[in-house]
Amino acid sequence: MDTKEGVLMQRYELGKMVGHGNFAKVYHGRNLKTGVNVAIKIIDKSKVMKAGMVNQIKREISVTKLVKHPNIVHLHEVLASKTKIYFVLEYVKGGELFDKLIKGKLKEETARKYFRQLISAIGFCHSRGVYHRDLKPENLLLDDEGNLKVSDFGLSALAETRRQDGLLHTSCGTPAYVAPEVIDQKGYDGAKADIWSCGVVLFVLLAGFLPFHDSNLMEMYRKITMGKFKYPNSFPNEAKSLVSKILDPNPITRISIAEITEDSWFKTGLVCELPKRSEDMVSSLENQFDSFKGSFGEKIRDLTYQTEEIQGLEKDCVLNAFNIISLSWGFNLSGLFNHNAEDEREVRFMSGQPACSIVLKLEEIAKNWKLKVMKNNGVLLKVEGLEEGINDILAIDFEIYQITPNLHLIEAKRLGGDKYGFWEIVNEHVRPALIGVV
């Protein structure tokens, strides 16, 4: 291990080992500067290269950076030495959800809470073009407040890796949790496969055992393909309907995440309060799911915005039904916030700050990053680097749209340069700076 006296690269103090696998060991750590507890996953480069898993590690890094959500384990940073790769992750000290299930089924309310958080996280992943592909209680962690955190994106896939038929073709996952279409090996929708796994998890939470289990693997696969399982007598009646819709062996008719969130059992006891802070509003909007992405999502692109000058942005404008939808928590607005999963060139987010403040803040950030700024009619700013990076000169277009007099949509487009530099500037600097009171 490339450390000196239990200190990693003069930044993290290493503690005891808390887990290990074939290629990695996980240690408890502490940030020496901030004192924050972290988990440090140490991967042996030579083992990874021998196993031909270099691309898998790269994918895990890019995916984990992409999916920042309260119910997903956060990746702080990635470090490397000549022999090791270090993932510095959020420390989740509550252990695996699996440990709770060893004692048997959970109380219905507890199971519902965990399932809601799982669906929130996976819906967010899908909205970013990410499919987990290995959802199971062992990969679901609990923090010290009892909140669920999805971990281990080592088998995940991005939408851009789909073939021309729009499907994924790599068979992977844990046998008891894998969807029938994955077993079939004819191609599958990554989102629908994840939903199936979520259904198996929900069954286990409420029953205390797996719906599909057999000592003979082929017999278990036969049961999965047929969707053949039995509910125990103690299984909540209202939850049976939801589980049956999720564990539908036909992915075409299988329930979607948007439909799951509208299910009566899922919504029981759910309190929806109007967020008072813009961070909450943006989070709420961005974590809505795909029910509305289709027909109306395309129409949103056809709306006409006032883009003549900054003063024009402060005036009222008519945006058809968008004003109503932006205030209605039942509708999905995810199409406005998703980056282009195909080439990762676009990011959209909301801000409650005035347009003039947005422009000033963008100029300030550009100056700090030593980027030159070019304006076009006040609402279109182009920032460009002075030096060439990995993939040409970094260039970003920022366009500002008024949604309501006090709410603006910022669209950032990468015109050139490295995508990781683009994501760092937009998501870690611009976005936090522009979230204001809505």
| Per-residue model confidence (pLDDT) at position 154 | 86
351-377 pLDDT per residue, tens: 888 888 888 888 888 888 888 887 655
Q: Is the pLDDT of residue 256 over 70?
A: yes
Q: What is the dihedral of CA 285, 287, 289, 295, to 10 degrees?
A: 30
**How much is the average pLDDT of 265-286?**
56
Neighbouring C-beta atoms of residue 227, cutoff 10 Å: 16
- Among candidate residues 134, 248, 290, 397, the one labeled active-site is 134
**How much is the average pLDDT of 296-306?**
33
- C-alpha 386/C-alpha 326 separation (Å) is 38
- C-alpha 295/C-alpha 2 separation (Å) is 53
Q: Tell me how far the alpha carbon of residue 84 is from its chain's centroid.
A: 26
**How much is the average pLDDT of 174-192?**
93
- C-alpha 291/C-alpha 300 separation (Å) is 15
Q: Judge whether 134 counts as a catalytic residue.
A: yes
| Per-residue model confidence (pLDDT) at position 26 | 92
Characterize 172-195 residue by residue with b for buried, 16 or more Cβ atoms within 10 angstroms of its Cβ, and e for exposed: ebbebbbbbbbbeeeebbbbbbbb
Ordered by where they begin, the domains of the chain are 7-90 (3.30.200.20), 97-267 (1.10.510.10), 278-434 (3.30.310.80)
| Per-residue model confidence (pLDDT) at position 391 | 47
Please state, rounded to an integer, the average pLDDT across all residues of the chain.
Answer: 79
* Angle (CA) 200 206 209, round 5°: 60
* 214 or 111, which is more confident: 111
DSSP reduced 3-state for 33: coil
> Per-residue DSSP letters for 214-254?
-SSHHHHHHHHHHT-----TTS-HHHHHHHHHHT-S-TTTS
**How much is the average pLDDT of 167-173?**
88
| Per-residue model confidence (pLDDT) at position 357 | 82
| Per-residue model confidence (pLDDT) at position 351 | 85
CA torsion sign for 96, 97, 100, 104 is negative
Continuous segment of H or E residues that includes residue 101: helix 97-101
